[in-house]
Amino acid sequence: MIEKLVLTNFRKFKEKIFEFDKNIVIFYGHNAQGKSSVLEALYLINTGTSPWASMNEYINVEQNGQAHTRIESIEGDKSYVYFKDINKRIFKIDGKNVKPSSFFEKRSSNIFNPEKIELLMISPSERRSFLDDTILKYDYEYETLLKDFKKILRQRNAYLKKLSKLFYEKGVIAINDPQLNFWSNHFSLTSAYILQNRISLTKELSKNEYEVQYRTGIQFDRRKLTNIEYLVESIETSLEESKKRDIATGYTNVGPHRDDWDISQGKDIRKFGSRGEKRLAIGKLIFQTQEIVFKKTSKYPILLLDDIASELDILNTEKIFERKFLDKQQTFITVIDYNSLPKSLLLDAQLIHLNGS
């Protein structure tokens, strides 16, 4: 449990100390008072990234001329410090410098805000990232797999552009090009592991009231998902079938980078759900990811709910802000007026008023 948060040169805060004594913490106050910035800091010190800013955007230079920011989190008898200036990041546990991998081991956070809901409903790229980010919370080697995949995809696409130029200039289709086959083989292997991870996650996500269906251009029997050799062969077959199109377009047309997923409850929520139904569905999905991460790591991620009440009607607000979900982990909530939240939630929550000071 985070008991204290110290912000230095972060956003509008020159120096701000927050002390927490409850499992549910509610920040309230008018807009532009720093509520979302506190959640951003909590997310940063638990993941190393900002949910909505570039690398240096959150550093406040104007406060005292120092181009750095510092976030400290006190958790029990341990101190975690995240330091960032224009050029570098430093991570410390109990005053000692540590590698990012050691700092973030078993540390994670989930953030849920209106902007994220919109992106998840509109952007296939964001939907893919949602799955990958969830997997990263419990599989620390998955990051290496994603990096390898992106590198291989870049190399394959770069070579496809050369073959595409050859095709349009000389009419030559290099179907059996050795270098293209080399990158295709590496692409198939890394893609197979990504497919395994993503589809397994969507099956776990479908164990609640919503069904999450993974959509891919790779043709294979999903009953054989655990058979990595079969998956690799299926991807190789799909690449072979798409090879002429890949050469013509100069990029890879099938694979994990083109995949997507749908969420349904008797109907496709993304296409046919109301605004409130979409928000409720994504909220329930995020709660389900909390359970999945706990099942695999024995620890719930910190949960951050930013301005969600403003987007929901009374009934859906009560469904999202149920104590039985929020009490499982330390939960931080931002809201303009805390009276918009269910009374049962306020009974044993810590209220912190932010007024810009």
CATH of the domain at 248: 1.20.1050.90
Domain count, the chain: 2
Mean pLDDT of 15-21: 95
Return the ∠ at Cα 204 (arms to 203 and 208), rounded to 5°: 105
307 shares its domain with 288: no
pLDDT confidence bin for 261, thresholds 50/70/90: very high
Q: Judge whether 31 is annotated as a binding position.
A: yes
Cα(27)–Cα(333) distance, rounded to whole angstroms? 6
Which of 51-55, 137-141, 256-260 has the largest mean confidence?
A: 256-260
Cα(218)–Cα(193) distance, rounded to whole angstroms? 13
- Residue 113 domain-assigned (yes or no): no
Mean pLDDT of 60-86: 82
142 shares its domain with 283: yes
294 shares its domain with 309: no
Q: Between 117 and 79, whose confidence is greater?
A: 79
Q: Judge whether 34 is annotated as a binding position.
A: yes
- Residue 21 domain-assigned (yes or no): yes
Q: Judge whether 329 is annotated as a binding position.
A: no
Intra-chain end-to-end CA distance of the chain, in Å: 25
CA distances (Å), 64 to each of 94, 327, 334, in order? 26, 39, 28
CATH of the domain at 11: 3.40.50.300
Q: Between 115 and 148, whose confidence is greater?
A: 148
pTM above 0.75, yes or no: yes
Q: Judge whether 165 is annotated as a binding position.
A: no
Domain holding 125, by residue range, is 119-299
CA distances (Å), 343 to each of 232, 322, 336, in order? 53, 10, 15
pLDDT at res. 356 = 67
- Residue 205 domain-assigned (yes or no): yes
* Pairing of β 13-19 and β 68-75: unpaired
The SS3 of residue 26 is strand
348 shares its domain with 287: no
pLDDT(53) > 70: no
Q: Judge whether 29 is annotated as a binding position.
A: yes
Q: Between 38 and 58, whose confidence is greater?
A: 38
Each residue's pLDDT tens digit, 207-253: 888 999 999 999 999 999 999 999 999 999 999 999 999 999 999 99
Of 44-53, 76-85, 187-196, 224-233, the range with the lowest mean pLDDT is 44-53
104 shares its domain with 165: no
pLDDT at res. 58 = 60
Phi, psi of 59, deg, nearest 5: -75, 125
275 shares its domain with 132: yes
Cα(12)–Cα(121) distance, rounded to whole angstroms? 31
Each residue's pLDDT tens digit, 161-191: 999 998 888 777 788 899 999 999 999 999 9
169 shares its domain with 269: yes
130 shares its domain with 143: yes
Each residue's pLDDT tens digit, 274-298: 888 888 898 899 999 999 999 999 9
Domain end point (choices 299, 318, 339) = 299
- Residue 8 domain-assigned (yes or no): yes
- Residue 114 domain-assigned (yes or no): no
User: Of all residues in the chain, what percent carry a pLDDT higher than 70?
Assistant: 96
pLDDT at res. 57 = 61
pLDDT at res. 65 = 53
The SS3 of residue 322 is coil
- Residue 284 domain-assigned (yes or no): yes
Q: Judge whether 30 is annotated as a binding position.
A: yes
